[in-house]
Amino acid sequence: MRSPKPLLTPIYPITTELLTNSVNPKRIWTVSYTDTNHEHLSRRFPMKRMKQIFTASTLTLALCAGTAALAVEPEYKEVAVEVADASPTLEDFVGQAKLPDLFIGSKAPQLAIAKFIKGESVGDFEKGQVYVVEFWATWCGPCVAAFPHLSELQAEHGEAVRFIGVNVWEGEENQTKRIEKIESFVADQGDRMSYTVAVEDGTAMADNWMTPAAQNGIPAAFIVDGNGVVAWIGHPGGIEEPLADVVAGNFDPSAAVEEAKSNMLISAAFQKLGMAFQTGEGIDDARQIADILINEYLSEEPAGLNAIAWMITTSEAEGVGEAEYKVAHRAIAIACEKTEWKDWSLLDTYALAAFKTGNKTEAIKWQTKALELAPAENKNAIEELEGRLAEYQE
């Protein structure tokens, strides 16, 4: 519970009203009251954060920063409302993270293969054997670029891991022609594809793996552990560390699920931020979302903090002003601290945030530093940095 900070003025009798949050259909307490200066004030508390004990009906409020206590007038019995933490959560704005039907911890679907083009055939997933099932297509540039990395990992792990590259979304409906096409393509790749390669049976692998896992792009890879359970899903470029953990028996699926949920919330939050700072609608909510991201999710992520700050400071939407620029300034200041003020791209954002908050001297100082650190060969970046510096110096 946060340290209470009582208001300095007594509070007169209040009224309470239960509202439904339009973004997330959960109960929210809105407490309206009048202070000794006869100013009308209000505070909102998520219902899920409250424990209510009602023994009477006429209430008088004493508010604290993170705690609210409600008491009736003297002739009534005491009534209390305890608020463990009145601060809103990311879920209050974007809803709960909804996991796809096929996810970490799910039993891996069966393989549905029309033909194994290269390497040994694989039937059922064997007990104790770790597998990587990776999806690709001939037309997919990033897929082709990932072949050598997958081959290196297959060589590194040897028999401990079986890599299976499954061709999907090829665009050839005739199965025979498709197999012939893939055979020719794989032969041309040579040692770049030094692992098992297969063609799916019709669209069965895409339908049973990709779609229920909400994977809408390739390349995509699934790690299947020794119990036939999906341990990880993602881009093969990021598979090295989780695969090593699975092979070593150190992989924590519960932690992976929580991390995935967190990433989903962050993604949804950024979508909401982008919409708000583009359209100007929901700016107040967007500012709170940004604060939550900075404090609870991205405090150790300079790139994420930079994204928030840049989104705010470059917004041309009506309603974006001092309060939002202060949030941006705080976010990018943390990012610069984490990188010891040596990342020119972050310094560029910091200078802009300083300028937006009215500190031209600070903006000029750090934009000049960003120019000093920026690579000379990146002429486009240099030109943009110089342009903003000239603006600050006007």
Which pLDDT does position 256 carry in this prediction? Answer: 85
Q: Residue 347: which pLDDT band, with cuts at 50, 70 and 90?
A: very high
Residue 212's domain comprises: 113-251
Which pLDDT does position 87 carry in this prediction? Answer: 81
**Whether residue 155 is found in the same domain as residue 121:** yes
With a cut of 50, say whether residue 294 has pLDDT above it. yes
With a cut of 50, say whether residue 244 has pLDDT above it. yes
With a cut of 90, say whether residue 46 has pLDDT above it. no
**Whether residue 243 is found in the same domain as residue 126:** yes
Q: Residue 86: which pLDDT band, with cuts at 50, 70 and 90?
A: low
With a cut of 80, say whether residue 270 has pLDDT above it. yes
Residue 10 lies in a domain: no
Question: What pLDDT digit, counting tens, does each position of 134-193 carry?
Answer: 999 999 999 999 999 999 999 999 999 999 999 999 999 999 999 999 999 999 999 999
Which pLDDT does position 252 carry in this prediction? Answer: 87
**Whether residue 140 is found in the same domain as residue 244:** yes
Question: What pLDDT digit, counting tens, does each position of 91-100 carry?
Answer: 999 998 888 9
**Whether residue 129 is found in the same domain as residue 83:** no
Which residue spans within the chain are E strands per DSSP?
Answer: 15-20, 27-34, 40-46, 50-53, 59-63, 68-72, 80-83, 113-118, 130-136, 161-167, 196-200, 220-224, 230-234
Determine which helix (DSSP H) or strand (DSSP E) holds 314, and give its type and residue range: none
Q: How far apart are the first and last CA of the chain?
A: 48
The CATH code of the domain that includes 308 is: 1.25.40.10
Which pLDDT does position 136 carry in this prediction? Answer: 98
- Could you give the number of structural domains in the chain? 3
Arithmetic mean of pLDDT, 341-352: 97
Q: Which residue has the higher pLDDT, 364 or 78?
A: 364
**Whether residue 141 is found in the same domain as residue 213:** yes
Token pair for 224: 């299947």
Backbone angles phi, psi at 130, to 5 degrees: -95, 140
**Whether residue 118 is found in the same domain as residue 182:** yes
With a cut of 50, say whether residue 29 has pLDDT above it. no
- CB within 8 A of 213, min separation 6: which ones? 100, 101, 102, 103, 220, 222, 233
Q: Give me Rg for the CA atoms of the chain.
A: 28
Describe the chain by its helix, strand, coil percentages, rounded to 5: 45, 20, 35
SS3 state of residue 217: coil
* Stated pTM of the model: 0.62
Residue 179 lies in a domain: yes
**Whether residue 243 is found in the same domain as residue 271:** no
**Cα-based torsion angle of the residue sequence 41, 326, 340, 381 in order, rounded to the nearest 10 degrees:** 150
